[in-house]
A and B are shown apart, each in its own frame.
Chain A
């Protein structure tokens, strides 16, 4: 353990791998010093574990109906009670973690790289390329996210895949803006000029030199946005345009529970808690990551 640590923290690493691992290790250590970030990381770890081991964690099937046990309050048998079809809410929330995680990951995988690339290209070239790409971005940005997503889902038809595509389409413009702003700050920097003088092509400079510098603020932003993405997905679910029944999606569950909110509060509240906790987890982790990754804010906490 001791030798591994000193190998990671070595001031004169002997290979590229050791250098970058050392850097990651230092960042992880900084992150661990921020209690909120640790809480956030733990919440997300719990989400991951829950999603991965849902069949073993959930005591009942998420879809199995038991009309004899309708709308039971939380008890030892049903930790979060049951819904109007007698399904165990805890089991549904546990399986719902899978859906939430899938939405979040897919949106991040589609929207972030797309926004990053478009923003970096716009910022790096400037001129008419910039005006064109940013004009497009502004068109998307000028419309409320949820409404735009609604329109897309309405056009593509309801369903979880279409909801993901709709959310991804509505969230890349924000990333493009950030990537462009970031690129503008160093596109005239001497290290970019020096690389051009070496004869490197524009494509190579964007991919190998510009993008790596945008990724850290992008990671922070995506993490902070995750809460919003979950809420948008839940919103679509709530409106009946996201995941379709009987899928245990949290937003759709709240929507179903709305009918009973005054008498059987747990039906809508339990998935609501899940949404809040996971959203908070992403926010905490995002804040912590910002302190670690953003050199401008570095060393404050």
Chain B
């Protein structure tokens, strides 16, 4: 798709992540180019979300190397990192503070980093994620699931990061709302030149959103394939093939198996 392979947005080398004594991710090597949209695919317990959390700094118990936009990442959350890389969570009901208005949620990152001109920036960002200004002073319980997810995306974009970690951003939403959010994410990526690392279990979403994907099973990457492999099921690993088959294959191509 014409991205520049020489610049690496996210690089994971020999990454192991543990929760307590159990290793949930083992020996993962992934390079995501700048501007690329890359998917981590697998079933629950495959460790795909854990990788995102390790990159974000929420799962500090890891070994190996993680670097984002050329800078190696430490084991804790740090402020500079926040301006380069942000994350959108799965559950739009759990990712917004229940007692804060949309305006307060979106102002928070600016306050933390001491940015000025907050009111204008918030208004601008609301427009960018397709939310009317009348939502600005509403509380989360006054918003629908899709609107909440738009707010969560807006919050992540407030610091103008270049890399976005997306943890199943649409799996809790209805299909028609999912379509809106996916369109929005695609548009934002195009407009702002973002790099996406997206976790999902939904293969058609990968086909729509991503350039490449890593298929994961039990904490390991079993295969890295281009999204076009979803068109004809040209996976090499047997697990990838079974996952593809369980997702229904490509019904539009039944005539030429």
Residues of A within 8 A of B (CB): 11-16, 18-20, 23, 189-191, 193-200, 204, 208-209, 212-213, 295
Residues in chain B near residue A213, CB distance under 8 A: 97-99
- Least CB distance from B175 to A in Å reads 23
Q: List 28 A-B contacts (CB under 8 A).
A: A12-B135, A12-B136, A13-B138, A14-B137, A16-B101, A16-B103, A16-B137, A19-B101, A19-B137, A19-B139, A23-B139, A189-B95, A190-B91, A191-B96, A191-B98, A193-B58, A194-B152, A194-B155, A196-B57, A196-B77, A197-B56, A197-B57, A197-B58, A197-B77, A197-B82, A199-B78, A199-B82, A200-B112
Give the complex CA separation of A14 and B103 in angstroms. Answer: 10
Residues in chain B near residue A295, CB distance under 8 A: 98
Q: Is the CB of B112 within 8 A of A193?
A: no
Give the complex CA separation of A19 and B57 in angstroms. Answer: 34
What's the interface size class on B, roughly? Answer: 35 or more
B69 located at the interface, meaning its Cβ lies under 8 Å from any Cβ of chain A in the complex: no
Residues in chain B near residue A212, CB distance under 8 A: 99
Residues in chain A near residue B113, CB distance under 8 A: 198-199
Q: Is the CB of A199 within 8 A of B79?
A: yes
5 A-B pairs closest in CB distance: A12-B134, A199-B82, A199-B79, A190-B95, A13-B137
Q: Is the CB of A11 within 8 A of B95?
A: no
Chain B, 75-108, CB within 8 A of any chain A CB: 77-83, 86-87, 89-91, 94-99, 101, 103-104, 108
Q: Is the CB of B137 within 8 A of A15?
A: yes
Which of B91, B104, B108 touches A198 (beta carbons < 8 Å)?
B108
B159 located at the interface, meaning its Cβ lies under 8 Å from any Cβ of chain A in the complex: yes
- Least CB distance from B170 to A in Å reads 15
Give the complex CA separation of A197 and B96 in angstroms. Answer: 13
B204 located at the interface, meaning its Cβ lies under 8 Å from any Cβ of chain A in the complex: no
Which of A12, A189, A190 touches B138 (beta carbons < 8 Å)?
A12
Residues in chain B near residue A11, CB distance under 8 A: 134, 138, 142
B109 located at the interface, meaning its Cβ lies under 8 Å from any Cβ of chain A in the complex: yes
Give the complex CA separation of A209 and B109 in angstroms. Answer: 13
Q: Which of A11, A191, A198 has the most CB of B within 10 A?
A: A198
Residues in chain B near residue A191, CB distance under 8 A: 94-98
Give the complex CA separation of A19 and B83 in angstroms. Answer: 29
Give the complex CA separation of A204 and B111 in angstroms. Answer: 11
Residues in chain A near residue B103, CB distance under 8 A: 16, 19
Beyond A190-B91, A197-B87, A198-B159, whether A16 also contacts B78 by CB under 8 A is no
Residues in chain B near residue A189, CB distance under 8 A: 94-95
